[in-house]
């Protein structure tokens, strides 16, 4: 028995967007509609035949402030109150977090009287590195099941959604941050103004907030359309965020391009007037202007490239299946749900999906209802090909699956254009 999807519908859990999340203006312009799509972490247990709801997945932009965003909001409670993504299952992500903490310790001179707060702290994969360095921490994680895991590991975590009210409450309790971290959380926020107000409240006057997120320019230039899913409300440039934070007495003071997740941006934000913006911050804003962040062209090119990618991927899979090849998929990830849904990659092409997360194993992939199995099944079943749904961790996957490639298994990387990697 496999999971199925119901037709797309508006429910009490999904509302259309009529004004910009960043500046409040109307007149949002369409970029591309990716069609009815199930929620990325709606993973039924094996044997669960209930139909999965699907929701429209439309990308739009605000011509006034340049913010790229979804044309609908699925309620955060529906998306995040019980969650199946645990960051600690990615070795690359844990190592990346350790490097980030090391750099913050050095630059901000943190010590045992400092306070590091992380928004969307997941299972403590990042905050654990502060604890090892004797810096007090506080995690804010709305998913109750994940917050419990963090607390059980001794990482102080509260299970709430972060916004203006929580930021003010923490400040009134004397819990203000020397450093505030929000990795891959800004995109999840439907109320950006309230979020920024909470950041301003919980930051010490001398504090700094650091946010990391998939970078809009990389997403467009590298055709990373599978970054688009319902959990990601917005897709940021520095230009758009400059406006959001300025409304709440905060300013961008530094920027750094980082390679993780197919190209991310790390922005540092501080209370207005407390720190001088770095030269690389100013240079990035100029670069975005020259690239065309305020123009139509990059978005039109992106939409056309997505349509071409779909044709190429389906053509490749049709050719392989026509030759009798068996194909699996690696990673029951949000990216994979968008890719599979838009391109029609279902059980006609994919026999099964593998994932390292024990929380996802024994469940069904939302598109096509393929079973999610441990990665060891690649070697046990030896499909000729494995489509990388988590292509952003390709190097890590190739290291882990060296034996599979040694015996002839080949990985397919779908983005920015589909290609088959040679066996090692």
Divide the 424 residues of the chain into consecutive groups of 10 and give the mean pLDDT of each group. Answer: 42 84 95 96 89 94 97 80 58 81 94 96 92 96 90 96 96 97 90 96 97 94 96 95 96 90 88 96 97 97 98 98 98 96 98 94 96 97 97 91 96 97 71
Task: Please answer whether residues 281 and 253 qualify as being in contact, where contact means their C-beta atoms are separated by less than 8 angstroms.
Answer: yes
Predicted confidence at residue 136, as pLDDT, reads: 97
Ranges in the chain annotated CATH 3.40.50.720: 1-70+321-424
Q: What pLDDT was estimated at residue 12?
A: 61
Distance CA 79, CA 229 (A): 11
pLDDT value at residue 152: 95
Q: Residue 264 pairs with which residues in a beta bridge?
A: 214, 258
Q: Is 34 helix (H, G, I), strand (E, B) or coil?
A: coil
The SS3 of residue 366 is coil
Alpha carbons 28 and 26: distance in angstroms, whole number: 6
Could you give the residue range(s) of every CATH 3.40.50.150 domain in the chain? 87-295
Query: 87-295 adopts what CATH topology?
Result: Rossmann fold (3.40.50)
Angle between helices 238-246 and 279-291 (to 10 degrees): 120
| CA–CA dist 82, 406 (Å, integer) | 38
pLDDT for residue 262: 67
Beta pairing partners, 52: 5
Prediction pTM value: 0.87
Strands, DSSP E only, in 137-263?
Answer: 137-140, 157-158, 177-183, 203-214, 234-235, 250-258
From 1.10.10.60, 3.10.20.740, 3.40.50.720, 3.30.70.600, which CATH number describes the 1-70+321-424 domain? Answer: 3.40.50.720
What DSSP line would sit under 148-172, residue for residue? HHHHHTT--EE-S--SHHHHHHHHH
In the prediction, which pLDDT does 50 show? 83
Task: Note the pLDDT of residue 409.
Answer: 97
């Amino acid at each position: 028995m496999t999971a199925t999807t119901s037709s797309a519908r508006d429910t009490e859990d999904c509302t259309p967007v009529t004004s910009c999340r960043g500046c409040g203006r109307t007149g949002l312009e369409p970029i591309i509609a990716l069609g009815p799509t199930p929620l990325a972490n709606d993973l039924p247990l094996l044997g669960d035949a209930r139909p999965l709801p699907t929701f429209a997945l439309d990308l739009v932009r605000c011509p006034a402030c340049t913010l790229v965003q979804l044309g609908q909001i699925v309620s955060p409670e529906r998306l995040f109150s019980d969650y199946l993504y645990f960051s600690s299952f990615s070795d690359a992500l844990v190592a990346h977090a350790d490097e980030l903490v090391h750099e913050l310790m050095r630059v901000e001179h943190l010590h045992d009287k400092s306070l590091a707060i992380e928004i969307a702290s997941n299972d403590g994969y990042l905050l654990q590195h502060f604890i090892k360095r004797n810096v007090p921490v506080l995690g804010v994680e709305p998913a109750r099941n994940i917050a419990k895991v963090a607390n059980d590991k001794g990482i102080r975590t509260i299970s709430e959604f972060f916004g203006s009210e929580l930021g003010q409450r923490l400040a009134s309790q004397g819990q203000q941050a020397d450093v505030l971290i929000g990795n891959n959380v800004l995109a999840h926020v439907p109320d950006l103004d309230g979020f920024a107000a909470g950041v301003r409240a919980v930051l010490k006057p001398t504090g700094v907030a650091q946010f990391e997120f998939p970078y809009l320019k990389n997403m467009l230039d590298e055709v990373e359309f599978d970054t688009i899913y319902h959990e990601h409300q917005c897709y940021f440039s520095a230009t758009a965020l400059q406006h959001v934070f300025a409304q709440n007495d905060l300013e961008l003071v530094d920027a750094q391009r980082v390679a993780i997740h197919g190209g991310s941006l790390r922005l540092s934000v501080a209370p207005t007037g407390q720190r001088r913006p770095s030269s690389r911050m100013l240079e990035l804003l100029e670069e975005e202007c020259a690239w065309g962040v305020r123009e139509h062209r990059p978005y039109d090119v992106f939409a056309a490239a997505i349509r071409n990618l779909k044709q190429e991927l389906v053509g490749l899979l049709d050719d392989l299946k026509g030759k009798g090849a068996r194909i699996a998929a690696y990673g029951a990830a949000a990216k994979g749900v968008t890719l599979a849904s838009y391109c029609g990659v279902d059980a006609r092409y994919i026999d099964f999906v593998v994932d390292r997360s024990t929380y996802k194993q024994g469940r069904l992939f939302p598109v096509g209802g393929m079973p999610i199995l441990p990665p060891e099944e690649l070697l046990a079943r030896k499909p000729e090909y494995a489509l990388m749904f988590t292509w952003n961790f390709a190097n890590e996957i190739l290291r882990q699956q060296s034996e599979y490639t040694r015996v002839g298994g080949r990985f397919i990387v779908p983005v920015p254009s589909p290609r088959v990697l040679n066996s090692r």
